[in-house]
Amino acid sequence: MPRTIIPFGPQHPVLPEPVHLDLVVEDEKVVEARPSIGFIHRGLEKLVEKKDYVEFVYVAERICGICSFIHSQTYCQGIESLMNVAVPPRALYLRTVWGELSRIHSHLLWLGLMADAMGFESLFMHSWRVREKVLNVVEATAGGRVIFGSCKIGGVRRDIDAETIKQTITDLDSIEADIAEITKVFINDRSVKARLGGVGVLSRQQAYDLGCVGPTLRASGVAQDMRTLGYAAFKDLDLTPITRTEGDSYARCAVRCDELLQSIRLIRQALAKIPAGEVAVKVTGNPNGEIIARTEQPRGEVVYYLKATGAKNLQRFRIRTPTFANLPAMLQLLQGCDLADVPVLLLTIDPCISCTER
């Protein structure tokens, strides 16, 4: 059978961000996918040498437009552990709330993109309608819609007053009702099941061996969630990782649907328990030493490596983002799939190329 190479991306209707794949096909079957990345490399890791460690929070937050808050949170957590800063409990709870809000809007964005990739335009619009409500809550509490800008070393930049907390809880009721409505369609609708069910099956062992993280790993039955490490306020909250055992695209979609409702429950718990007090402590001096900070982003575990030498600027900064860990799994899924399944399989790991390329 003669082989043909079909270029896929960097501009493609299903791709929210640029990544290029050379798809080697035999007839309509993909035999191999050769990726090439680097279209949006911005050299952010190198920038630590120019920006001091306090200013760099802004850069860390801009690594990705979707998991923005969790990037700044992870960076701050790393620096705080290096400098032995005790973050006030209220700040930890606020970070948890904003982190979960960011997870909700990221998952809703993904659900919309997935619906769009399979041609379900009305479901795409409804997912993003609900996302808009979440963004309004984010804007009212943090001040920004996508870039929260509320995390800083030693705590958070702003507090949420009692009235806004009450309003947020009321808004969450309506968001939860809307989410329940649309996730019912994703989980029960026959056409969604037919499009995603059995497509791109990743067994538990395969997912583990390929080093998958986040919903991609949990959909294959591995209950790994960095939030169970208990960073921020998660140690005080009731959290069980959501897993599925099927390992196909439908399972990955269902895990994200369930995580939406789980995040809402976590925000409710955090807002009910939030302690009073300061939201930030003054940080003086410069960090020294090296550290690894880990948190759970909407797409999975992110690992930050920070190395400081006691100067104002860090010496080395390195991130292992969740999409980077999930790329080998995506290439594995693409081998042997139908050409028509490529858009679905590409989106199924929730690729975030900005994160991957920094």
Partner 1 sequence: MAYLEMSRLALKWAMKRPPTTRYPFRPRRAIAGSRGQLDLDRATCVYCTACAKKCPTGALLVNRAKKTFAIDRLRCISCGYCVEICPKDSLRLSTSHGGPAVTRDREF
Which residues contribute to the site for partner 1 (CB under 8 A)? 51, 55, 58, 120, 122-123, 126, 129, 132, 136, 139-141, 143-144, 147, 149, 157, 164, 181-182, 184-185, 188-190, 193
Min dist. Cβ of residue 318 to partner 1 (A): 21
Q: Closer to partner 1 at the Cβ: 55 or 278? A: 55
C-beta separation of 248 from 200 below 8 A: yes
Cβ-proximal residues to 181 (8 Å cutoff; 6+ apart), any chain: none
Min dist. Cβ of residue 179 to partner 1 (A): 12
Min dist. Cβ of residue 164 to partner 1 (A): 7
Region at 260 (left for phi over 0; alpha for psi -120 to 50; beta for the rest): alpha
C-beta separation of 179 from 264 below 8 A: yes
Q: Closer to partner 1 at the Cβ: 90 or 131? A: 131
**Distances in whole angstroms, Cα of residue 30 to Cα of each of 3, 24, 339:** 10, 6, 6
Fill in the amino acid letter for 154: G
Q: Closer to partner 1 at the Cβ: 15 or 59? A: 59
**Distances in whole angstroms, Cα of residue 88 to Cα of each of 153, 155, 232:** 11, 7, 10
Q: Closer to partner 1 at the Cβ: 3 or 312? A: 312
Min dist. Cβ of residue 81 to partner 1 (A): 23
Min dist. Cβ of residue 55 to partner 1 (A): 5
Sequential DSSP letters for 73-121: HHHHHHHHHHHT----HHHHHHHHHHHHHHHHHHHHHHHHHHHHHTT-H
Q: Closer to partner 1 at the Cβ: 169 or 292? A: 169
Fill in the amino acid letter for 156: V
Min dist. Cβ of residue 209 to partner 1 (A): 35
Min dist. Cβ of residue 51 to partner 1 (A): 7
Min dist. Cβ of residue 169 to partner 1 (A): 16
Calculate the CA dihedral of residues 346, 105, 59, 303 and round it to 10 degrees. Answer: -60
Quote the DSSP letter at residue 340: G
Cβ-proximal residues to 235 (8 Å cutoff; 6+ apart), any chain: none
Q: Closer to partner 1 at the Cβ: 28 or 181? A: 181
Q: Closer to partner 1 at the Cβ: 135 or 226? A: 135
In angstroms, rounded to a whole number, what is the distance separating the alpha carbons of residues 178 and 241?
23
C-beta separation of 350 from 299 below 8 A: yes
Q: Closer to partner 1 at the Cβ: 12 or 62? A: 62
